[in-house]
Chains A and B, each alone.
Chain A
Amino acid sequence: MKNKQPSKQILPIVIIALVSITAGLWLSQSTSSGKRLPQDLEATFLPEGKPLKAFSLIDHNEQTFDLDRFKGKWSFLFFGYTNCPDVCPLGMKVMQGVWQQLPKALLDQSQMIFVSVDSDRDTPKDLKSYAQYFHPDFIGITGKSEQIDILTREIGILYGFEDPEAGSKDYVVNHSAQFILIDPDARLRAVFSPPHEAAKVASTFQKITAFLGS
């Protein structure tokens, strides 16, 4: 009976294949700069960021809120309306929890912005009361729908108004409930989809900022 020896031609091929697979897996976890992407993120992360188009809204102090207001700060955005009974207070409560967990150094370079898509009913005064109820540093903004739409289209936020019942001026607004993260260069960086947990959002935010070197 002959002893079968492994072919000497097969072994190098196997080694090359293993090295290629390993390199491929490593590269898929790295950016173009070679840095490894952070793991276990509770968000969709854009390693290169997406620049945003110019828009013009107003904040709760009736000051202009545009792209320049994103520069130099990390910004969390949450879209909704103050007549929202469930999703919006829930989301704002989570953001309140996130703010309570962030280190001061990161808080000093961050801002949280509630964007009302219901400018017909939500006045700047309403937004100030609403946003600052959850945290004194939170900002409320709104504006003309065409300006809101510039921002929502850029970051993939959807919203729509239901018709009020006959004889009523009350209506429901359906809207995306994601948290949006904008970097200090006014680029879209991450999308956090619900359901949200404050600890996970805070942790993911810190991983992202550490990765990008902020």
Chain B
Amino acid sequence: MYRFCLTLVTFLSLLSSVNASADSLRIENAWSPEAPPMARVMAGYMHITSNIDKEILIEKITSPQFKAVEMHRTIQTNGMAMMEWQLHIHVPTGKVTKLEPGGKHLMLIKPVKRLKAGDKIELNLHLSNQKQQTVIATVRKD
């Protein structure tokens, strides 16, 4: 009887973790470079992998620590670095979508208070499947 219960609990735990990863994104290396003291914007970067069986869009991102969060992409064109505002971030199934310096990134606008290396930033990702996922990014010096 004990073995049966143990097996059942183990199975249900595994099942729940499979379900959790089946409809959520795996976010790794979420970070933000520490910015100068007077900075009114910071950047956010992360690696996003989706095992969700259909295409997911990150439609909006909010943070209690910033007035606004926007999604952008840096492109080099005609000799200039341009920030291209992104309506959403497209996360294809089975591939890693990278937000990295010099490419796609988050623009974290007007911090409530100055954030330093080691501080954590809460980012709430609003997805196209009507779900919301919270990511904690770490402020880093380098």
Residues of A within 8 A of B (CB): 82-87, 89-90, 93, 125-126, 129-130, 133-134, 156, 158-160, 170, 172, 174-177, 194-195
Q: Which residue in chain A gives the minimum CB-CB distance to B104?
A: A86
Chain B interface residue number, banded: 20 to 34
Mark B65-80 against chain A: 1 for CB-CB distance below 8 A, else 0. 0000000101010111
List 9 A–B pairs whose Cβ atoms lie within 8 Å, in order of A's numbering.
A85-B72, A85-B108, A87-B81, A89-B35, A93-B33, A93-B142, A129-B37, A177-B76, A194-B76
Q: Which residue in chain A gives the minimum CB-CB distance to B40?
A: A83
Indicate whether A195 sits within 8 Å of B102 (C-beta atoms), given known contacts A85-B107, A87-B81: yes
In contact, A86 and B39 (Cβ under 8 angstroms): no
Contact of A175 among B35, B80, B102, B108 (CB under 8 A): B80
Cα distance, A158 to B39, chains bound together (Å): 23
Cα distance, A160 to B78, chains bound together (Å): 12
Taking CB atoms, residues of chain A closer than 8 Å to B142 are 93
Number of inter-chain CB pairs below 8 Å: 71
Q: Which residue in chain B gives the minimum CB-CB distance to A132?
A: B36
In contact, A84 and B41 (Cβ under 8 angstroms): yes
Asked if B92 is at the interface (CB within 8 A of a chain A CB), the reply is: no
Indicate whether A87 sits within 8 Å of B36 (C-beta atoms), given known contacts A160-B80, A175-B80, A176-B81: no
Q: Which residue in chain B gives the minimum CB-CB distance to A157?
A: B79
Known: A87-B81, A176-B79. 13 other contacts (CB 8 A): A82-B36, A82-B38, A85-B41, A85-B42, A86-B83, A125-B38, A158-B78, A158-B79, A158-B80, A160-B80, A172-B83, A176-B81, A194-B102
Asked if B82 is at the interface (CB within 8 A of a chain A CB), the reply is: yes
Residues of B within 8 A of A (CB): 33, 35-43, 72, 74, 76, 78-83, 85, 101-102, 105, 107-109, 142
Cα distance, A159 to B39, chains bound together (Å): 20
Most chain B C-beta atoms within 10 Å of own C-beta, residue among A87, A158, A177? A87
Cα distance, A175 to B42, chains bound together (Å): 18
Contact of B109 among A90, A170, A176 (CB under 8 A): A170
Cα distance, A29 to B85, chains bound together (Å): 44
Contact of B101 among A90, A125, A129, A130 (CB under 8 A): A90
Most chain A C-beta atoms within 10 Å of own C-beta, residue among B36, B72, B108? B36
Cα distance, A195 to B100, chains bound together (Å): 13
Indicate whether A89 sits within 8 Å of B80 (C-beta atoms), given known contacts A170-B109, A195-B102: no
